[in-house]
């Protein structure tokens, strides 16, 4: 049966390379022609209306236009749709029936990325956006002893938050990440991998290098420490990758593709050498894992080193599940963790690995997992921006309601930032837990 004779595609979604170096990628007229084509398909379908603010914005523009069709929407207003997309990828992987190999070839997130790249090149990005996506620079400055205390205090002070609002357009009620002067590099400077023989499986080498990410380095080093402790408890030689820089996801979401390439050119040779030495790679933040498993390979499909790193990169719980399948995971738990309201991060869902976090946590005796598969609406930067914070709080509300309804002993998300956004939505003094921290608690190590 041809694709033309049925409503949607039944095949598994495929992805075309981004094509940022192809002629016409930055052609504005070609871009807007493609935006109109895809917007028209979305208008005729509307399955994605519940996902993020991009689609309600588009449909309101259409419904309020003179023609009540896409051709009645002012093309200047196309940017309103683009600005609300934070590349969660859920529309592509969970909703859209017209993604490739369907002949309509709809890839809404990467079309939005192309538009963001054009906008960035044409000067649409605000100074604020360039600053808050420069995670390494901020982290290095904010983690200086004394400075870290000042930054953390200032982020909770109503007067300095008012200044941030007026100068950088950071929403005064948005929860901002804390910074640690005792960074992961300092905490782990004397760490050496276990001197045990690596036991491989058909998919894992049995040796793991943790790409801590800028967030794991400066904001929540304890999560990376918990990750290290859990893997070593499983007799897996584990190390922290040294001298890495940001994975590039924040700059990708901004459309700053030149910066993404610079970060790639730093990280990929470093990680590829580790792969050559027999190390697998994991990261504690799903967005960073997705960057190496999907986005960089789609940007650089001919780069053998990018492909090499892609094949060796794993989500932490994906890795543990593979070890468990091979009979190599330690299931001797000392502590129960009770009922957990577990939020599945978008950038983990779209890795197409299944609910591996749930599966591993379910191995702990006397444990109940209430799975919540809804976007939190945080994105790392979207939720802190003055113009988008209220929208982000609406997006997270169904997740917050599910957490309340679960009446669980704890709530958790693989994405630390999503977890803190849920905490902000609850606003009851409770705090999120990372699933790897819960696993460490269960092990009692």
- Domain assignments of the chain as residue spans, ordered by start: 12-121, 127-168, 184-322, 331-443
Quote the pLDDT of residue 94: 84
- CB neighbour list of residue 43: distance below 8 Å, 6 or more residues apart: 58, 59, 62, 69, 70
Strand 338-343 with 410-413, pairing: parallel
Query: What's the pLDDT score for residue 7?
Result: 65
Residue 65 CA to residue 14 CA, distance in Å, equals 34
The DSSP bridge partners found for residue 210 are: 240, 282
Contacting residues for 382 by C-beta, under 8 A, at least 6 apart: 86, 388, 392
210, 325 Cβ separation under 8 angstroms:
no
Strand partners, 239: 209
Structure token pair of residue 198: 């690596």
Instruction: Report strand pairing: 367-372 vs 338-343.
Output: parallel
Q: Is this model's pTM higher than 0.75 or not?
A: yes
| β partners of residue 238 | 208
Rounded to an integer, what distance in angstroms lies between the CA atom of residue 257 and that of residue 259? 5
Write out pLDDT tens, residues 315-337.
999 999 999 999 999 999 999 99
CATH class of domain segment(s) 331-443: alpha beta
Task: Tell me which residue of 258, 224, 257 sits closest to 242, measured CA to CA.
Answer: 224
Tell me what pLDDT residue 406 has: 95
Residue 206 tokens read as 């049995």
Which parts of the chain register pLDDT below 70? 1-9
pLDDT at residue 52, rounded to an integer? 87
pLDDT in tens, 430-441: 999 999 999 999
């Amino acid at each position: 049966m041809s694709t033309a004779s049925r409503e949607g595609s039944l095949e598994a979604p495929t992805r075309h390379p981004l094509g940022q170096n192809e002629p016409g990628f930055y052609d504005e007229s070609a871009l807007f022609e493609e935006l109109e084509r895809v917007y028209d398909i979305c208008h005729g379908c509307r399955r994605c209306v519940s996902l993020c603010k991009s689609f309600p914005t588009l449909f309101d523009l259409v419904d309020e236009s003179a023609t009540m069709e896409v051709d009645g929407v002012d093309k200047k207003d196309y940017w309103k749709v683009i600005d609300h997309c934070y590349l969660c990828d859920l529309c592509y992987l969970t909703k859209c029936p017209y993604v490739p190999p369907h002949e309509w070839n709809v890839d809404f997130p990467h079309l939005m990325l192309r538009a963001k790249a054009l906008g960035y090149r044409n000067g649409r990005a605000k100074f604020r956006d360039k600053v808050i996506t420069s995670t390494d620079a901020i982290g290095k400055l904010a983690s200086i002893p004394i400075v870290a205390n000042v930054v953390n205090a200032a982020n909770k002070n109503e007067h300095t938050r008012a200044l941030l609002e007026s100068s950088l357009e950071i929403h005064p009620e948005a929860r901002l990440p804390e910074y640690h002067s005792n960074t992961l590099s300092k905490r782990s400077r004397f760490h050496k991998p276990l001197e045990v023989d690596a036991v491989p499986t058909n998919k894992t080498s049995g040796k793991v290098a943790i790409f801590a990410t800028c967030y794991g380095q400066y904001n929540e080093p304890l999560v990376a420490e918990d990750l290290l402790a859990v893997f070593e408890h499983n007799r897996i030689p584990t190390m922290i990758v040294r001298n890495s820089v940001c994975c590039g996801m924040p700059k990708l979401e901004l459309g700053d593709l030149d910066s993404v390439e610079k970060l790639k050119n730093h990280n990929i040779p470093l990680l590829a050498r580790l792969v050559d030495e027999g190390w697998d790679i994991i990261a504690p933040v799903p967005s960073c894992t997705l960057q190496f498993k999907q986005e960089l390979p789609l940007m650089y499909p001919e780069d053998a080193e990018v492909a090499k790193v892609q094949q060796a990169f794993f989500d932490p719980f994906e890795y543990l599940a593979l070890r468990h399948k091979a009979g190599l995971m330690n299931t001797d738990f000392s502590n129960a963790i009770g009922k957990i309201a577990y939020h599945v991060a978008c950038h983990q869902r779209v890795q197409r690995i299944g609910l591996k976090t749930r599966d591993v946590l379910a191995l702990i005796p006397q444990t109940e997992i209430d799975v919540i598969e809804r976007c939190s609406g945080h994105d790392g930067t979207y939720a802190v921006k003055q113009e988008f914070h209220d929208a982000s709080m609406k997006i997270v509300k169904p997740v917050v309601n599910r957490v309340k309804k679960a009446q669980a002993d704890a709530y958790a998300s693989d994405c630390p930032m999503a977890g803190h956004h849920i905490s902000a939505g609850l606003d009851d003094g409770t705090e999120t837990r990372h699933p790897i921290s819960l696993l460490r608690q269960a092990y009692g190590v």
